[in-house]
Amino acid sequence: MKTKLLIFTVLLITFFEVSAQKVYRTNDGHIEMMTLVDGKTIKAESHSLALYLDYNSKVVNGVLDLKTLVTDHPELYAIIQEGEAPAILRFTGTIPSVDFLSKRHDPINFNWLVDVLYQGETYKSQFRATITHIEQGINMSCLISATGQVLFSDTGLDSLMQGLDKTINVQFAQLVLKLE
């Protein structure tokens, strides 16, 4: 009986290791958003960006509850925290199918077309992205970083506060482990 239990445990662990290699995910990604309010730069950031990368399709999905954003601008912070329901921002985009997850490479720069979903509305944005190879001893990984702009008028957020600029500058970076 102990032998069967041991074999079952080994098979179960092996199954989860193989399954885990198909999708990379994190729930503590870092994202920063910046804009101007009455000509002054305001920054909001969160360490609660959930990112999912499908190793096979190279599709990246991101989910952020805007209520996790922290800012030192009191009025903006109050607006972010209003309401009981979470204010979920979702985005998805496909990384060009360069085999960046299994071999060393020079930095890969590309324009990344992203679909952004906020409050049931979807709109497109284009980010400038870079995938940088990082050597970590015998382990390898890549840093995916992206910057882009989102128009307030696309999101409906332009009506929340007086003096907002027309765009939100977004940037994030996430370390992704190499596919073994």
| Structural domain spans, the chain | 22-177
pLDDT tens figures, 68-124: 989 988 888 888 888 667 788 888 888 886 677 777 778 888 888 888 887 788 888
Q: What's the per-residue H, E or C state across 2-62? A: HHHHHHHHHHHHHHHHHHHCCEEEEEEEEEEEEEEECCEEEEEEEEEEEEEEECCCCEEEE
Look at residue 71 and give its three-state secondary structure: strand
User: What pTM value is reported for the model?
Assistant: 0.74
Model confidence at 39: pLDDT above 80:
yes
Rounded mean pLDDT of 27-50? 89
pLDDT, residue 21, reads 54
pLDDT category at 5 given cuts 50, 70, 90 is very low
pLDDT band with cut points at 50, 70 and 90 for residue 43: very high
Say which residue, 30 or 152, is predicted with more confidence: 30
Q: Taking 50 as the threshold, does the pLDDT of residue 53 lie above it?
A: yes
Domain 22-177: give its CATH code.
2.40.128.110
9-30 pLDDT, tens digit each: 444 444 444 444 588 888 888 9
Region 150-164: mean pLDDT is 70
- Give the model's pLDDT for residue 174: 84
| pLDDT top residue among 84 and 38 | 38
Q: Is the dihedral of CA 159, 162, 167, 169 positive or negative?
A: negative
Q: How confident is the model at residue 137 (pLDDT cuts 50, 70, 90)?
A: low
